[in-house]
Amino acid sequence: MDSQQRVYQNRKLQMVLFGPSPETLLLIEF
């Protein structure tokens, strides 16, 4: 569960840095 939260936070950071592109949105949903 800890690693899952880390991955989620990583994706959140990516979205903040690169903007909500369709690719990142798909990754977050997945």
Encode pLDDT of 1-30 as tens digits. Answer: 688 889 888 888 877 777 767 776 666 665
User: What per-residue confidence (pLDDT) applies to 24?
Assistant: 64
The domain of 23 spans 1-30
C-alpha R_g of the chain: 9
Greatest alpha-carbon pair distance for the chain in Å reads: 26
pLDDT of residue 4: 87
Domain tally for the chain? 1
